[in-house]
A = this chain, B = another copy of it.
Amino acid sequence: MSNVVEQIIANYAGESPGVLGNLRRLLNSGSLAGTGKLVILPVDQGFEHGPARSFAPNPAGYDPEYHPALALESGCNAYAAPVGFLDVIAAKYAGKLPLILKLNNSDSLGGPDQPCSALTAGVQDALRLGCVAIGYTIYPGSGLRNEQYEAIRDLIAEARDVGLPTVIWSYPRGAGISKNGETALDVVAYAAHIACQLGAHIVKVKPPSDFIEQKEAQKAYEKVPKATLAERVQHVVQASFNNKRIVIFSGGPAKGTEDVLEELRQIAKGGGYGSIMGRNAFQRSPADGQKLLREAIEIFRASAKG
C-alpha cells in the first residue's frame, strides 16, 4: 500500500472503516493512484449554465455517456455529476470508475434571492448508484448560509453512517461579498477553513487571487506571502487545517491550454492536492480533452514525486 496515501488517511483517524475505505478508493484510482494527488472530472455545467452553453462547443458532451468514458480513458481519479447524469451511466460505470454524486445544484434561470443550490439527490441515491463519495456546494457569504451549513451537517452524518466521505465545493458568494472578493485570498482561505470545520473530507475551492476582501483581515495578511499563485495555494492549504484535509482547486471557465497548465503547475507547487477540471476538459474535442487531462495528471504526478 502507498505510504503517501496512508499518511493522508492517518489525518482522518477516528473515521469509520467505510469512509476510510472510500477515501482510499479515490486516492488509489486512475493514473494518480498511490500518489496522494487527485484529478477529478466534474460535469454539472449543463445544470448550472444550461445545456447549449456547456455542450455546444463539443456536442458529444450532450450525451451522459461521454463524460465517464473521458474520465476513465484519461486516467482521472473520479467523475462527479448530478443524479440525472449518473442515473444513465452508473449501471455501466459503478465499480470501474469512482463516482461522486453532486447532491445539490443550481440553474441560472432564477432562484432564491440569496445564493442557495437545491438539494436534487440524497445519500441513498449515492448508495443506489454505487458512488464512492457525495459532493455538496456551500456559498459562504450567502444570507441562506445557515440553511446550507445545516443541510450539509445532516448529509455528512448520514453519509458517514453508510461509509461515504463528503466533498464540499466552497464558493463564497452573496450579499456581503464583492465580485472580486469571491476569489480574494482571505475569502478563499476562509471558505476552505469553513468547509473543513463543517467536517468535509475533501474541499474544493477556486484558485485565489492576491486581493484581500475583508478590512478586518488586512493586517493579518501583511506577512502572508501572496505574490504567486503557488504561495496563495500554500496559504489555502495551511488554512485547510495545516494540510490535514485534502484541498483541490477548480479551473473555472475554459481558457487557453498553456494558461490552464501554468495554473495547474502553480497549484501543484503550492502543495494543492489536485485539480477538478470540467469545462476545460469536456468542451475541447475528445482527443484534446483527453490530452489536457493527461497533462494535468502528469503535473500532479511530478509534484508528488518532487
Q: Which A residues are within 8 Å of any B CB, using their own CB?
A: 11-15, 46-47, 49-53, 56-57, 59, 62-64, 82-85, 87-88, 90-92, 105, 107-113, 116-122, 124-125, 129, 140-146, 149-150, 153, 157, 172, 174-177, 186-187, 189-191, 193-194, 196-200, 214, 216-217, 220-221, 223-224, 235, 238-239, 241-242, 244-245
Contact = CB atoms under 8 A, between A and B. Distances in A.
A105 B187 CA distance: 17
Contacts of A199: 83-84, 87, 120-121
Given A88-B241, A241-B88, A50 B110 contact: no
Given A150-B119, A172-B109, A52 B221 contact: yes
A118 B140 contact: no
What is the oligomeric copy number?
5
B91 A14 contact: yes
Nearest to A81: B197
Given A14-B129, A112-B145, A223 B64 contact: no
A116 B47 contact: no
Which of A14, A108, A142: most chain B Cβ within 10 A?
Answer: A14
A146 B129 contact: no
A141 B242 contact: no
Which of A15, A50, A117, A196: most chain B Cβ within 10 A?
Answer: A50
Given A84-B199, A87-B199, A241-B88, A52 B120 contact: no
A148 to B, nearest CB: 8
B52 A82 contact: no
A241 B110 contact: no
26 contacts: A15-B87, A47-B197, A51-B193, A52-B186, A52-B190, A52-B235, A52-B239, A62-B241, A62-B242, A64-B244, A84-B245, A85-B197, A105-B197, A109-B172, A109-B177, A109-B191, A110-B142, A110-B174, A111-B145, A112-B144, A116-B146, A117-B146, A118-B150, A119-B149, A120-B198, A122-B153
